[in-house]
Structure 1
Amino acid sequence: MKIISINIRGFGKDDNSESKVGWFRRLRLSERPEVVLIQESKCNRVDDKWIEFIWGSSNVRYLQKEKVGQSGGMLLLWDPNIVDVIDAVEGQFFLAIRGKWQGKINDTIVVNVYGPHKDDENKKFWDSLQGLMSFDNDEWVIGGDFIEVRSQDERQNSIFIERRAKLFNNFIEQSHLIEVPLLGKKFTKISDDGKKFSKLDRFLVSKAFINTWGDVSTITLDQKSLDHYPLMLRDSNQNFGPKPFKIFNIRLEIKEVEQIIIEAWNLNVFGSRPDCIFRNKLKNVKEALRKLSKFKYGPLDIELDKWKRATDEFESKAEAGMISDLERIEWLQARAMRLKKEKEKASMLRQKARLRWAAEGDDNTSFFHSMIPRNNNKLSIRGLHINGTWVESPDAIKD
C-alpha cells in the first residue's frame, strides 16, 4: 500500500525551467502509489487526457476541486485496478473517496486535506471533518497539508498559535485518530529563504486501518523545488530478525524463577568477544524461562479454554439439578483455575499494550487487543540516521 501526498504549489514552471508535470509523472511512475493526494494544484477544470498523461497510463480515476482566484485547487487520483471506489465527497477544504483495496475486506475512506488559513474558518473545518467521520466506522486515512501544527516544537522561527493547535489536537483525539510516524525528517515545509520550518503535512489514520495494514509509516520524498516535502504513507515489513529477549511480569510470580535465572546465568558459555558471551548468557536464561513457563503454564489459551469448558459443563448440570457435592467441589476448583488463567491473560495483554489499568477486575480484553497493534506501530524502530542519511536496511543498521 502506498499513498502519496504533495502540496505542489501549482503545476507551473519551477526555477530550473522543468515542468512540475514532468517531475510528478516520473515520481508517480517510480513509486507506483495506488492513491495520490495533491494540494494547491492551482488548476482550472482538467480533462481526462491531461490526468492520464501526468499519471503515466490510462488506468486512473480522479476527483478535482478547482482553484479559487490564483490559489488553492486539489486533486485526488487513484488506480481503479487496485482501489475500487464506490463513493466520493467534496467539502470546502477536502476531497474524499470511499473504496476497497484489492485483497482487503473492509472499505477505506481516503481524505485529501488542504486546511483553511483564516481563523474564523478553522473550527468549521474540523467540525465538518468530524461530521463526515461520524457516518462510518470504517478504515480512515486523512492526509495532506493541514496548515496547522500540534505543538510548539513543530515550528521553528515562525509563530505558534496555541488556540489553533488545541483545536487540531482536539479533533484528532475526539476522532480517535493516530498520527503515522514521520521517518527521517522533523519538518515538512521550508520557507523559500530557508529560515522558517514547520510540520504542516502528515497522515492521520484510524485504529481499524492500523489493524488491517499493521506496521505503517510515512517517509519524505525528493523535494525538488517545492516548499513542502512530498510524503508517502506505506506499509513497512522490515525484518530485523528475532525479537529481543523479554518476559511477562506474571512469570516472575513463579516461586522458583529467581533460582532458575541464577543457575542459567552461571552456566559456562563460550565466545570470542564480551558481547557474544553476554548474548549467550541471555540465551541460556531465555531457554530456562521458556521451559519453566511451558512446564508451569502450558499454552495459555488452551488451558483457559479447558477450564472454561469444565465450568460450563458443571453449571449446565447444576441448572438441571444433577450435581453432587463432590462435583460442586470440582466446579469450585475449575472456576478458580479459570479465573487464574483469565487474570494471567489480562496481565499479558496489559503488558503488551504497555498500559496500566486502574480497575483490575474490569479488564476490557478487546480494548487491549486493539491497543497492541497501535503501540507496536508507534514504537517500532524503522531506521537510523547514519552520517546524516536516513537508512532503513536491516543489514546496514546492524553493521
Structure 2
Amino acid sequence: MNVLSWNIRGISSAMPLLFHCCSTYRSSFLGILEPKTHFSGILSSYWRSFNFSPVHQNDRGRRSSNIWFFADHSLSPDVLFSSDQVVVIRCVIMGIDTTLAFTHASCNYIERRQLWLDIKPFIAGSFLMIGDFNSILGAHGRRGRRVPASTPCSEFHTFIENHDLIQPESSGPFFTWTDRRRFPSPIESILDRVLFSQNFSDIWFFSSILVLPRLGSDHSSIMLRCQDTASAPVCRRFRFLNMWCSHEDFLDQVRASWNIPIDSLCPLVRVMKKLKRLRSVLKAWNRDTFGNYNIALVELQQDLGSLQEGIDAHGYTSDFFDQEVALQAWIGTILMHKSDHLRQQSRISWLSDDDRNTRFFHSMVKWRRSDQSIKKLSIDGVILEDTDTMTAHVVDFYETLFSEPVSGLVDRSWISNYIPGSVSSAHSALLTAPSSAEDIRLVAFSMDRDSALGPDGFNEAFFQHS
C-alpha cells in the first residue's frame, strides 16, 4: 500500500508535475491539499490517466475545498468524517480494515485544537494520519529567524503522546516547507509528516517514507510506502537469543554438542565446525523447549481463565491454588523471555534490565528491520526496485569482486619506505607478540553482551556464559 499526500498550493499550474509524480510513484491513495480551484474545473480523464477515482472533496461553504481525496479505481473506501481540516476514510485493503486521515490543519493553533478533538474517535485499530499539520514539535523542526511558540508545539506533542502515535523517520529533504524568501532570511519547517498507530505498525511492514523535492509548491510531497507483514521479507539466519542462557538445560546442550570431536588439524576449523553444528542443536532445542511464545501465552492465558472460572464456581482448593500459582509463574516467565528477546532485537542498551517496555522494543525492532532493508539500487544511473533484479545484481557484483585474478593486484610495499619508524623494537615486539589466553578472556568479557552478532550468529553473551 502506497499513500501520497501533497500540499500543492494551486493545482492549475502544477498539473504536469502532479502527473509525473503519480506516474512515477504508483499509489493506492492520493491526497491533494490546497488545490485552490473547483474540482469540476479538472477533466475526469486527467484522474483516470493514472488510475485514480475521486472519492471526496471537503465542503467549506463559500470557500473552495482544500482537501481532495482519491483512491485507486479497484478500491472502495467509505468516508467517515469530513471537516475544514481533515477527511477520514476507512477502506479494506488486502483484507485489512484500515483508517486513513488526510489533514490540512489550520495555521491558527486555537483552531487546530478542534482538529485534535475531531480525530480522536477514529484513532483505533489500524490508523494512519498524513498531510500538512501546520505545526512542529519543537525548535529542531524549524530553521530561520523566528523562534517557534511553545504552546502549539506542546499541544501537538501532547496529542501524539496521548494517542500513542508513532512518527517514523523519513528519507529525502529534512524540512518539508519553506517560505521561499531569499537568503539570508528564509524559514524552513517540518509541517508535512506521517503518524500511525501501533496496530498499523503491527499489520503493515513499514518500508519507507520518502519526502520528495519541492517542485511547483512551497511544500514537499510525502509518500508512505509499506507492505503487509504476510508478504514482508523474513530473515531466517540463525541468531543466538540471550534468553537461552537463563534455562537450566542450556549449558548441558552446549557441552554435549561441543564434546563431540571434529576431525581437523586446524584449531580454527574445529571451532568453526563445532559452532556450525551447535547452531542446529540450539535451533531444535529452542523449538522443543521455548516454542512460539506468542502462541504459548494465548494458550496459557486461556487455561488460566478456565481455571479461575472453575474456582469461581467451586471455590478454592489446594489443587486449584497450586495450579493457579504454577500457571501465573509460567506466564510471567514467558513474558520475561519475550521482553528479553525484543530488547535484544531492538539493540536498546540504555534502559535498565528491570524495564519491560515490550511495546517500545517491538516498535524499535520494526524500525531497525525497515532501515536495514534495501528498497532500491542505483546502477550506472538506472534505478532498480525489483527485488529479484537487485538480488541478481548483488550476487553478480560480489562473484566478480572475489574472483579477480591475483595478477590484477598492485604492489604497494614501497609505501613502507616513506613511513618513519616511530615505534621502538621493544614496543614492536610487544605489539606483535601472540595473545595469551588471559588477554583473550579479558577482551571477551569486557565486551557488551548485546553487541552485534558475528557472521556465525553468536554474540558475546554466548561466549561469556558458556
TM-score (norm. length: structure 1): 0.71
Among residues 112, 122, 133, which one is paired with 2:119 in the alignment? 133
2: CA distance, partners of 1:72 / 1:377: 37
Does 2:200 correspond to 1:206? no
User: Compared with structure 1, are the counterparts of its residues 227 and 141 closer, same or farther at alpha carbon in structure 2 (3 Å cutoff)?
Assistant: same
User: Compared with structure 1, are the counterparts of its residues 337 and 153 closer, same or farther at alpha carbon in structure 2 (3 Å cutoff)?
Assistant: same
Aligned residue for 1:144, secondary structure, equals: strand
Does 2:89 correspond to 1:89? no
- Check conservation: 1:65, 1:95, Cα contact below 8 A: no
Give 1:179's aligned residue: 167
Give, in angstroms, the shift of residue 47 of structure 1: 0.4
2: CA distance, partners of 1:269 / 1:10: 75
- Check conservation: 1:62, 1:78, Cα contact below 8 A: no
Give 1:17's aligned residue: none
Among residues 90, 93, 104, which one is paired with 2:95 in the alignment? 104
Give 1:378's aligned residue: 367
> In the TM superposition, what whole-angstrom CA distance separates every residue of 1:23-70 from its partner, at most 9, and x where no partner exists?
2123223433222122232x232207535424525733331467999x
Aligned residue for 2:89, secondary structure, equals: strand
- Structure with the greater alpha carbon radius of gyration: 2
Give, in angstroms, the shift of residue 179 of structure 1: 1.5
TM-score (norm. length: structure 2): 0.62
Aligned residue for 1:59, secondary structure, equals: strand
Give, in angstroms, the shift of residue 182 of structure 1: 1.1
Give, in angstroms, the shift of residue 312 of structure 1: 5.3
Does 2:61 correspond to 1:61? no
Give 2:426's aligned residue: none
Does 2:150 correspond to 1:159? no
- Check conservation: 2:300, 2:331, Cα contact below 8 A: no
User: Compared with structure 1, are the counterparts of its residues 79 and 90 closer, same or farther at alpha carbon in structure 2 (3 Å cutoff)?
Assistant: farther
> In the TM superposition, what whole-angstrom CA distance separates every residue of 1:216-262 from its partner, at most 9, and x where no partner exists?
5311335444433211112146637335614153x322235356557
Q: Which amino acid aligns with 1:47?
A: S
Does 2:28 correspond to 1:38? no
Matches within 5 A, 1:345-384: 345-352=334-341, 354=343, 368=358, 374-380=363-369, 381-383=371-373
- Check conservation: 1:6, 1:231, Cα contact below 8 A: yes
Give, in angstroms, the shift of residue 169 of structure 1: 0.9
User: Compared with structure 1, are the counterparts of its residues 24 and 335 closer, same or farther at alpha carbon in structure 2 (3 Å cutoff)?
Assistant: same
Give 2:439's aligned residue: none
> In the TM superposition, what whole-angstrom CA distance separates every residue of 1:348-389 from its partner, at most 9, and x where no partner exists?
3323554979999xx9xxx95x666544433332457999x9
Give 2:239's aligned residue: 245
User: Compared with structure 1, are the counterparts of its residues 210 and 292 closer, same or farther at alpha carbon in structure 2 (3 Å cutoff)?
Assistant: closer
**Same amino acid, percent of matched pairs:** 14
Does 2:290 correspond to 1:290? no
2: CA distance, partners of 1:314 / 1:142: 41
Aligned residue for 2:43, secondary structure, equals: helix
Give 1:343's aligned residue: 332
2: CA distance, partners of 1:175 / 1:106: 19
2: CA distance, partners of 1:302 / 1:81: 39
Does 2:25 correspond to 1:25? no
* 337-346 vs 373-382, which moves further: 373-382
User: Compared with structure 1, are the counterparts of its residues 287 and 77 closer, same or farther at alpha carbon in structure 2 (3 Å cutoff)?
Assistant: same
> In the TM superposition, what whole-angstrom CA distance separates every residue of 1:88-129 from its partner, at most 9, and x where no partner exists?
4122xx13132223443535142222441xxxx20430x212
Q: Give the root-mean-square deviation of aligned CA atoms.
A: 4.7
Q: Which amino acid aligns with 1:348?
A: H
- Check conservation: 2:142, 2:148, Cα contact below 8 A: no
What are the ranges of 5 or more consecutive residues in structure 2 without an aligned counterpart?
399-466
Matches within 5 A, 1:267-306: 283-294=276-287, 296-297=289-290, 301=295, 305=299
Give, in angstroms, the shift of residue 76 of structure 1: 2.5
What are the ranges of 5 or more consecutive residues in structure 1 without an aligned counterpart?
14-19
The aligned length equals: 368
Q: Which amino acid aligns with 1:89?
A: S
